[in-house]
Structure 1
Amino acid sequence: MTVTAKRKIAERPHQIVERVAEFIREGDLEGVVSMFHPECRVAMDPDGQPMEGHAGVRDIFRDFVANRVHLEGTVSGEMINGDTAILQGEWTVEDRDGNVLGGGVSTEVVKQMDHGGWTYFIDCPIRVPAPAR
């Protein structure tokens, strides 16, 4: 009988960034992807088009995972309403030598999945995009 390791989940919304950071350190791209809802939207570039779904998450995080960058995130606000929550926080990314590669103030909408874990549904790591005109 083969035993499959159970993937770590975020049991509370504010734990998602911790799990993403762990998966990056471990070089586990699919672990990072598991922290995002299958129908997520991620606005890495608030002036560009949001990335969508797990394919978009893979594109965003592929180099982060390959280079095993250090992601540090702090959640400063969390409000939960049923299976949906909003988070506010700050984050930085450093390379292996401690050089800061980026950072920002984030706003995220998160959803609880059927397995009980929380995932990013809308992720705006720098700022929320301007309204469509």
Structure 2
Amino acid sequence: MTQHIAQQPREIADCVSAYLQEGNLDGIVSMFHPDCLVFFPPDAPPSVGLDGAQKAFEGFLEVRPKIESDVFSEVVTGDTALLRANWRVIAPDGSVMAEGQSTEVAKKLDNGGWGYLIDCPNGPPSLDRETT
């Protein structure tokens, strides 16, 4: 299988999408920082670390949808970046499974690429929500 590495923070979602379509869960997980928080599903506590990222995405593997991400804001400082994007999850039949506006914090990974440190597909959680 091909190794996808995000050379810029805005490329992370494209790499996740490529791994999703290949059915490569390990590849998807490689696009996350080891200390990541994944706020998906939105009504559940955040998934923590690489195990959490795996749990957040394993349900999508059977469908193998495509993620379309239109990053409209990217702020990079050193090895950290803030991203905002409009996204859609597209089923193989072309139907839209989900869509929203995300906010993510990305961090440089050991492999030299970028990965998600904080992934909020539906925007940041409110203050009354537990984050760790």
TM over 0.5, shorter chain: yes
Match of 1:85 among 78, 81, 106: 81
Give the structure 1 partner of residue 4 of structure 2: 8
Give the structure 2 partner of residue 68 of structure 1: 64
Gapped runs of 5+ residues in structure 2? none
Paired residue secondary structure (2:59):
helix
CA contact (8 A) 1:105 1:125 kept: yes
Over alpha carbons, which structure has the higher Rg? 1
Taking structure 1 as the reference length, the TM-score comes to: 0.90
Q: Deviations over 1:60-103 (max 9, x none)?
A: 11121221112111111101000000000011112211121111
Does 2:21 align with 1:22?
no
Tell me how far apart the structure 1 counterparts of residues 22 and 93 of structure 2 sit (CA, whole Å): 17
RMSD of aligned C-alpha atoms? 1.6
Tell me how far apart the structure 2 counterparts of residues 124 and 74 of structure 1 sit (CA, whole Å): 15
CA contact (8 A) 2:20 2:61 kept: yes
Paired residue secondary structure (2:20):
helix
Does 2:113 align with 1:131?
no
Does 2:46 align with 1:50?
yes
CA contact (8 A) 1:42 1:51 kept: yes
CA contact (8 A) 1:46 1:128 kept: no
- Identical counterparts, % of pairs: 43
Paired residue secondary structure (1:66):
coil
Q: Deviations over 1:6-49 (max 9, x none)?
A: 72211110110110011011111111000001110011244431
Give the structure 1 partner of residue 107 of structure 2: 111
Give the structure 1 partner of residue 94 of structure 2: 98
CA contact (8 A) 1:14 1:78 kept: yes
Tell me how far apart the structure 2 counterparts of residues 97 and 46 of structure 1 sit (CA, whole Å): 25
CA contact (8 A) 2:41 2:56 kept: no
Tell me how far apart the structure 1 counterparts of residues 43 and 60 of structure 2 sit (CA, whole Å): 21
